[in-house]
Amino acid sequence: MDSASSDRPVPGQHLAPTVARSVKILVVGAFGVGKTTLIGAVSEIDPLRTEERITTASVGIDPGQPNKDTTTVAMDFGRITVTEDIALYLFGTPGQRRFWDLWSGLADGAVGALVMIDTRHLEDSFEVLDQLELRTRIPFAVVVNQFPDSPDYPLERVRAALDLLPETPIVECDARDRQSAVLTLITLVEHAMTFPVFQKVNA
Amino acid sequence: MDTEEYRDHPVRSYVLTSGRAHPSRNTLRPETLVRAVESRPVLSTAGRLERELVQLCQGTLALAEVAAYLALPVSLVAVMVSDLVDAGNLTIRSNHQAHVLPGKDILEKILDGLRKL
């Protein structure tokens, strides 16, 4: 909604003292697909940002040459206190290769991932889906973010174009709308509960 | 000129952590919850950032939140948090195993919570 945005985040929005555990869902997708919009629509705090930088050049060999190749990978995130003792964190991340190189551990222990798609730029999501399937084994649901000028493709056509498995959920959403965004999360968690790991013994 | 080179952020990060890139424990994740131990005063040898970090954690926050508020990378804050846990100034609130997926009971609670939003 019309939350006040300031230059620096105001610290101190602590979790309730009853919260004793945290879980996370990744929100992945190409640049501009609406990850931070969706996170902002459901988060109880204004979305926060943290950045990691990697220097890929040969540091120290020729200090006179300013040809370092520094890459920044940003992560926008928000949180929802879903029960009095559980906080759900939503980590919004670009899903390209260099991101996974840097954040290899981020998917560990995640409930799953929402893969956000813009049907105007469907090809941008191929690498994201490839990397997600290659680097992780977490359940995911595909979210088609509806923009005013999005072409009106039936979901089954998008499913076919993305070569999704029949069991992978695909839903439309308006990332600006809180209820719409919440529904995508519900879809993902319901899907996660059917994931093979839970068909086995609950150790 | 050359002085620009020395402001390079990654290098500064390693100075802050005495040259270490990895925390003394590997169970810290961006969503790991941490909180200050109130009865434990910060050592006089602690730096400004350590004090600021402990001050921030007077209530429970996730590691990623601490990093965002301090405008530092999560990887760096993980090293600082790890040291402060070792020193007894911080405690880790969420103690589940980082590599284990949340159990079905947890997923059901999340689902219930989301449906009430």
Mean pLDDT for chain A overall: 85
Residue B111's SS3 state is helix
**CA separation for the pair A88, A81 (Å, rounded):** 6
Residue type, B60: T
For residue A197, what pLDDT band results from cuts at 50, 70 and 90?
low
Chain segment B18-54, per-residue pLDDT in tens:
666 666 666 789 999 999 998 888 877 778 899 999 9
Residue of A nearest to B5 (CA): A66
Question: pTM to 2 decimals?
Answer: 0.85
pLDDT at B4: 41
Which 3 state secondary structure label does DSSP give A184?
helix
Chain B nearest C-alpha distance from A11 (Å):
6
Cβ of A135: how many Cβ atoms within 10 Å? 17
CATH topology of domain A21-53+68-199: Rossmann fold (3.40.50)
Structure tokens at B31: 């969503």
Domains plus CATH for chain B?
Answer: 22-115 (1.10.10.10)
- Chosen from A7, A71, A89, A138 to mutate, greatest number of chain B CBs within 10 A: A89
Distance from CA of residue A51 to its chain's centroid?
15
Q: Has residue A14 got a pLDDT over 50?
A: yes
Measure CA A31 to chain center. Answer: 11
* Residue carrying structure tokens 């930088």: A53
Reported ipTM exceeds the 0.90 cut = no
Taking residues B73-80, report their average pLDDT: 92
Of the candidates A4, A72, A16, A79, the one whose C-alpha atom is nearest the C-alpha of residue A47 is A79
Distance from CA of B81 to the nearest CA of A (A): 16
Number of residues that make up chain A = 203
A-proximal residues of B, 41-100, CB under 8 Å: 56, 58-62, 64-65, 67-69, 71-75, 93-94, 96-100
Q: What is the pLDDT of residues A136-186, one digit of tens each?
A: 889 999 999 999 999 989 999 999 999 999 999 999 999 999 999 999 999
